[in-house]
Amino acid sequence: MCQTSQHPLSIACDGDGQQNPKLPTTGDATLVQKASAATGTTATAFIDVAATAYDSYGRSTLTTRTPHSTAPNNTSLSQSTTTGYTPATGELPSSVVTATQVTPGATCTTSTTSSKDCHVTKSTMDPARAQPTAVTDAAGLLTSLT
C-alpha cells in the first residue's frame, strides 16, 4: 500500500516524504498524510498524520503522531513513541522497551522509567519464539506470561 495518493490518505514509503516520489525499496510506510483540501474529487492539500522511522530490520523505532502540528503559541502538539530493542542487531531481541510521550514537547527517547511526561513499558522476550515472557507496564507492574 506504499506510494499511494488516493483520497483521503496519502502514504509515502522509505523516507521519501512525497517530495520526490519513487518506488519503495523496503515497503516501510514512513509518512501518512490525510487530505485537508480538495477541488471537486481531487485532493489538493495534505496534512501529516503520522511519521515512522525504522531500523535496518524494518522494526518501528520512532512513531510520531501529527509530526508538524503546533498550538497557537507555536509549541509542538506532536506525540512520539520510541521503541528500543536489545540487542539492537545480530539476533532476535531479548527485551523491547517502549517510551510513549504523554506531554507534548517532552523528550522520552532516553527514559527508562515512567513519569508524568513519558510512559515506559518493557517486554522481556523469549528469543526462540519472539514472544514476550514478562511485561512491565507504565505503572511499573510486572505480568509474567510463562
- Confidence class of residue 16 from pLDDT cuts 50, 70 and 90? low
So where are the chain's domains? 80-146
Is residue 122's pLDDT more than 50?
A: yes
Q: Is residue 45 within 8 Å of 37, Cβ to Cβ?
A: yes
Query: What integer pLDDT is reported at residue 7 of this predicted model?
Result: 46
Three-class secondary structure of residue 62 per DSSP: strand
Three-class secondary structure of residue 86 per DSSP: strand
Is residue 3's pLDDT more than 50?
A: no
This prediction's pTM: 0.80
Query: What integer pLDDT is reported at residue 93 of this predicted model?
Result: 94
